[in-house]
Structure 1
Amino acid sequence: MENDINKKVVMITIMLGSFLTPFMGSSVVVALPSIGKEFALNEGLINWIATSFILTTAVFVVPCGKFADIYGRKKILFYGLFIFTLSSVLCGLSINAFMLISFRALQGVGGAMISATVIAIITSVYSSGERGKAIGINVAAIYTGLSIGPVVGGIVTQHFGWRILFFMMIPLGLIVIILLSRLKQEWSEAKGERMDYKGSLIYGVGLLCLMCGLSFIRNNWYGIGLIIVGCVILIIFGIYETKIINPILDISLFKKSRILMFSSIAALINYSATYAVSFLLSLYLQYVKGFNPEHAGLILVVQPVIQALFSPLSGKLSDRVEAQKVASFGMGLSTVGLLVLCFLKVGTNISIVLITLVVLGFGFALFSSPNTNAVMNSVEKRYYGVASGILGAARTIGQTVSMGITSLILTLFLGNTAISSSNNPRFIHGFTVSFVVFTIMCFLGIFASLARGKVEGKVKLESDRGSTPS
């Protein structure tokens, strides 16, 4: 009975922690025009308010996962929540763009610590027979944050100002910190291992170059040059990690487990193919269909709501049915949804958009929770933090790839001109080509998902009775 109560407390704490970062991110996006107006920012600086958070999250999430495995997942989550809450206060107090972008980057470090630990803690507490459902509930919390973030962000920004969005994180963050501090357990199965600081630095520099290159890819050779440099550094990182005793990312894990390797690839492809959907549809709804931002937001919220509703069910299903089948079917549905979006035109009925968003939401739900469950079931307990970090890196890199592809294609069709009714035909062409590319990527992702094989082939060494706290 006590163990059941403990699991409930852990789940509530983790759900609230998982809710914070997507809620913050999606609500701030709505506030960007107001922030830009107050600080008189150009489009590039406005984008950096969002990009700085994503960059630092991606750079720190894998090292933070290793830190959590060594020094304790609860401890790293606690520090992450503290940094996230403190940086939110500093963001709200910012008096210029440099301060805001800097504190958003710091907030991303806190977000990385949260992202690297929440799934790892759930995996530590719940055994394999109930883990999928628990992961699904956590995914639902994430997409609840994504769903209500734009609505709350719009209302708060309009009536109280954008700074209140950041100050709202104070009570929410403190509640989670207090709940977390009441948990007496700690999970650190890699305790005693040395932290690979040199590898962390090489990884961080390489990934930073790669993601900055993807963000700047529209700027011709500058972005391409950064991508090449980033890839070279990451190859050096991979070689270096095979030569040390305690790497932050044990490359041999991918060799030993095709489940981990192909599930990670599938996650990367899924985020790369789907993250820009809301961005492109937002432009389509407002500039082509003539909806105001509020109505466009209400239409777009359909997809994350559907995912939030069905993620717990798909997670529970993955406890009984092979993730290979559930996740692959989900990616197949996503491919169908993306294919339909290839054919949207000026006169397309809005009901088509709504139905497609429902299909995409259902597809995302069937893919995300089972895929995460498969990854966490494929590694030893001492690698839970690292596995969680790998998923976090796949997510943030995929998001950047998705926006990079979109930015490049729209630039090819529109140049540097703003979207308007006069160039709607060119925008529609760019819109269509973007979704053709994403459809092909998602279709290929189905084969990556199928290639993972069955979970019975995992390289797990411990029994599946859940982790014993240290």
Structure 2
Amino acid sequence: MNGDGSVKKYALITVSLASFLTPFMGSSINLAVPSIGREFDSGAVLLSWVVSSYILASAAFLLPFGRLADIFGRKKIFVIGLLAFTLFSLLCGLSWSIEALIAFRVLQGIGGAMIFGTAVAILTSVFPPQERGKVLGINVATVYTGLSLGPVLGGAMNQQLGWPSIFYFNAALGLFVVLLTALKLKGEWAGARGEKFDLGGAVLYAAGLVAFMYGFSSLATSTPAKFILAAGLLLIAVFVGHEAREEQPMLDMRLLSKNVPFAFSNLAALINYSATFAVGFLLSLHLQVVMGYSSQTAGLILLFQPVVMALLSPLAGTLSDRIEPRIVASWGMGLTALGLAVFAFLSASTPVWLIVLNLMLLGTGFALFSSPNSNAIMGSVEKKFYGVASSTMGTMRLIGQSVSMAIATLIIDLHIGSAQLSPAIAGLIVTSVKMSFAIFAVTCLGGVFASLARGNVNAGEKA
């Protein structure tokens, strides 16, 4: 169903606004972490869960909601997700304790998963193949705009109006998108109407992922963490076996076992996000607690990375239509590894201009990797698998983000424990930040080989 001009127009507007919301929320809250810590008298580890809980909930529920949307209707799940995201954004702003804030962040993340799992699928349903590349490009641009504006607006709102204002802004924008979708976006799309929902697979997947991530990030402070981690790995293994036997699985395992370019492109995405997502969180701590900058100034400094990404991503995508995506993406991964290695030598006396230059290098690397890698993933599958491919890609991104925050949390936990964020522990923060970046640099270097191993993909062939 391609729909008329009105459906196309409002599908693009609503999906783009929703796609702006989720990355904006993620990048803006990083700047408010020290303020939240002061208000609730919380240590660094609990504060990292303010960021991690949202990503983890989104990752755990993305695939199940993507599948539910295919069966019961993508617009339906999209609107419910927007309503949940809006309501829990408001409640996050009204939180009375750090525990309440983390609980509402989990519920906000579940709403975010409904948006993630349906946004690109709605655009794919509404627009014909010859227009898809352009509209997906616009959608990616709004994601990067959210990432870019997050640190600036988030830092300014946090400083001038207090951290709850970030959540109120998201709630207001979310409500506007809900009303626009309900009133203007006509029609419904369900590619698998009448098929069975694999509830067993959904439970195994969500439980396994949550147990694995929680166990991993709590290894330093909790004795049972290693058992929770092992249980998570076991549940994920059971999930893989279950999906291979299922007639209508949540995730078709043949895509990963028989399609080498698809499998390695997704692995490269997982490694890249695992190595890069915590950069904003770690630098926010370093710039504010160690170097003494305000959240507003720290936001302006962090802005350089997503701006370079937004500017270069369309160019990198076009480049990957002419040159093999694996070549462009692997160069991007290599530049990212170099930038992360530079940050492994960060200290309290590192000049700001060097941090800015290195953020621009990271932005260049990420742009060269991201669009060509997405191009390779979508180009390696048949049309009937577009929804599954985009859901898998989104899942890799969110799992990677969770892993990234889990590594940062684990290292902060080892060095700082439950100590309050203050200049008194600046030395310990510097040590934690440097060690995190060293691990991320090595991880990213390994990702270059995963990126090269995918083989040649003519990304335009199956589109």
TM-score (norm 1): 0.87
1:232 equivalent in structure 2? 234
Per-residue Cα deviation, 1:320-353 (whole angstroms, up to 9, x for no partner): 4432222222112212212222333444333222
Looking at structure 2, the residues matched to 21 and 11 of structure 1 have their Cα atoms a distance apart, in angstroms, of: 16
1:263 equivalent in structure 2? 265
Instruction: For structure 2, list consecutive stretches of 5 or more residues without a partner in the other structure.
Output: none
1:387 equivalent in structure 2? 389
1:372 equivalent in structure 2? 374
Per-residue Cα deviation, 1:33-75 (whole angstroms, up to 9, x for no partner): 4445555555554444333322211110011111122223222
* 212-221 vs 76-85, which moves further: 212-221
**Relative to structure 1, is the Cα distance of residues 31 and 456 closer, same or farther in structure 2, using a 3 angstrom cutoff?**
closer
Q: Is the 8 A contact 1:330 1:362 kept in 2?
A: yes
**Relative to structure 1, is the Cα distance of residues 442 and 20 closer, same or farther in structure 2, using a 3 angstrom cutoff?**
same
1:467 equivalent in structure 2? none
Q: Is the 8 A contact 1:272 1:402 kept in 2?
A: yes
**Relative to structure 1, is the Cα distance of residues 154 and 424 closer, same or farther in structure 2, using a 3 angstrom cutoff?**
closer
1:243 aligns with one of 230, 242, 245: 245
The answer on 1:406 being equivalent to 2:415 is no
Looking at structure 2, the residues matched to 157 and 94 of structure 1 have their Cα atoms a distance apart, in angstroms, of: 15
Q: What are the equivalent positions in structure 2 for 1:445-464 lying under 5 Å apart?
A: 445-456=447-458, 464=463
Q: Which amino acid aligns with 1:262?
A: F
The answer on 1:351 being equivalent to 2:359 is no
1:17 equivalent in structure 2? 18
1:327 equivalent in structure 2? 329
Looking at structure 2, the residues matched to 346 and 305 of structure 1 have their Cα atoms a distance apart, in angstroms, of: 25
| Superposition deviation, residue 76 in structure 1 | 1.9
SS of the aligned residue for 1:363 comes to helix
Looking at structure 2, the residues matched to 161 and 342 of structure 1 have their Cα atoms a distance apart, in angstroms, of: 32
Q: What are the equivalent positions in structure 2 for 1:190-201 lying under 5 Å apart?
A: 190-201=192-203
Q: Which amino acid aligns with 1:342?
A: A
Looking at structure 1, the residues matched to 37 and 344 of structure 2 have their Cα atoms a distance apart, in angstroms, of: 32
**Relative to structure 1, is the Cα distance of residues 167 and 422 closer, same or farther in structure 2, using a 3 angstrom cutoff?**
closer
Looking at structure 1, the residues matched to 180 and 36 of structure 2 have their Cα atoms a distance apart, in angstroms, of: 33
Q: Which amino acid aligns with 1:196?
A: D
**Relative to structure 1, is the Cα distance of residues 27 and 400 closer, same or farther in structure 2, using a 3 angstrom cutoff?**
same
1:145 equivalent in structure 2? 146
* 119-128 vs 385-394, which moves further: 119-128
Q: Which amino acid aligns with 1:245?
A: E
The answer on 1:442 being equivalent to 2:444 is yes
- Matched pairs, number: 461
SS of the aligned residue for 1:455 comes to coil
Looking at structure 1, the residues matched to 164 and 250 of structure 2 have their Cα atoms a distance apart, in angstroms, of: 37
2:72 equivalent in structure 1? 71
TM-score (norm 2): 0.88
Looking at structure 1, the residues matched to 61 and 330 of structure 2 have their Cα atoms a distance apart, in angstroms, of: 29
Q: Is the 8 A contact 1:135 1:315 kept in 2?
A: no
SS of the aligned residue for 2:397 comes to helix
Q: Which amino acid aligns with 2:369?
A: F
Looking at structure 1, the residues matched to 151 and 111 of structure 2 have their Cα atoms a distance apart, in angstroms, of: 21
Q: Is the 8 A contact 2:335 2:362 kept in 1?
A: yes
Per-residue Cα deviation, 1:437-464 (whole angstroms, up to 9, x for no partner): 212211111121222223349996xxx4
Q: Which amino acid aligns with 1:311?
A: S
**Relative to structure 1, is the Cα distance of residues 7 and 452 closer, same or farther in structure 2, using a 3 angstrom cutoff?**
farther
2:114 equivalent in structure 1? 113
1:188 equivalent in structure 2? 190
Q: Is the 8 A contact 2:329 2:368 kept in 1?
A: yes
Looking at structure 2, the residues matched to 243 and 189 of structure 1 have their Cα atoms a distance apart, in angstroms, of: 22
1:87 equivalent in structure 2? 88
The answer on 1:51 being equivalent to 2:52 is yes
| Superposition deviation, residue 147 in structure 1 | 2.2
Q: CA RMSD in A?
A: 3.0
Q: What are the equivalent positions in structure 2 for 1:168-183 lying under 5 Å apart?
A: 168-181=169-182, 182-183=184-185
1:278 aligns with one of 274, 277, 280: 280
**Relative to structure 1, is the Cα distance of residues 438 and 159 closer, same or farther in structure 2, using a 3 angstrom cutoff?**
closer
**Relative to structure 1, is the Cα distance of residues 430 and 99 closer, same or farther in structure 2, using a 3 angstrom cutoff?**
closer
2:316 equivalent in structure 1? 314
Q: Is the 8 A contact 1:36 1:42 kept in 2?
A: yes
**Relative to structure 1, is the Cα distance of residues 81 and 419 closer, same or farther in structure 2, using a 3 angstrom cutoff?**
closer
| Superposition deviation, residue 125 in structure 1 | 4.6
Q: Which amino acid aligns with 1:172?
A: L
Instruction: For structure 1, list consecutive stretches of 5 or more residues without a partner in the other structure.
Output: 465-470
**Relative to structure 1, is the Cα distance of residues 120 and 186 closer, same or farther in structure 2, using a 3 angstrom cutoff?**
same
**Relative to structure 1, is the Cα distance of residues 313 and 130 closer, same or farther in structure 2, using a 3 angstrom cutoff?**
farther
**Relative to structure 1, is the Cα distance of residues 220 and 86 closer, same or farther in structure 2, using a 3 angstrom cutoff?**
closer
| Superposition deviation, residue 118 in structure 1 | 1.9
Per-residue Cα deviation, 1:105-136 (whole angstroms, up to 9, x for no partner): 22111100111122233344556666445434
Q: Which amino acid aligns with 2:301?
A: I
Q: Is the 8 A contact 2:277 2:404 kept in 1?
A: yes
Looking at structure 1, the residues matched to 131 and 320 of structure 2 have their Cα atoms a distance apart, in angstroms, of: 9
Looking at structure 2, the residues matched to 179 and 371 of structure 1 have their Cα atoms a distance apart, in angstroms, of: 32
**Relative to structure 1, is the Cα distance of residues 368 and 131 closer, same or farther in structure 2, using a 3 angstrom cutoff?**
farther
Looking at structure 2, the residues matched to 417 and 165 of structure 1 have their Cα atoms a distance apart, in angstroms, of: 26
Looking at structure 2, the residues matched to 156 and 365 of structure 1 have their Cα atoms a distance apart, in angstroms, of: 28
1:468 equivalent in structure 2? none
SS of the aligned residue for 2:224 comes to helix
Identity of matched residues, %: 49
Per-residue Cα deviation, 1:151-202 (whole angstroms, up to 9, x for no partner): 3233334443443333323442233234434233443222222100111011
2:301 equivalent in structure 1? 299
SS of the aligned residue for 1:168 comes to helix
* 116-125 vs 325-334, which moves further: 116-125
* 274-283 vs 409-418, which moves further: 409-418
Q: Which amino acid aligns with 1:25?
A: G
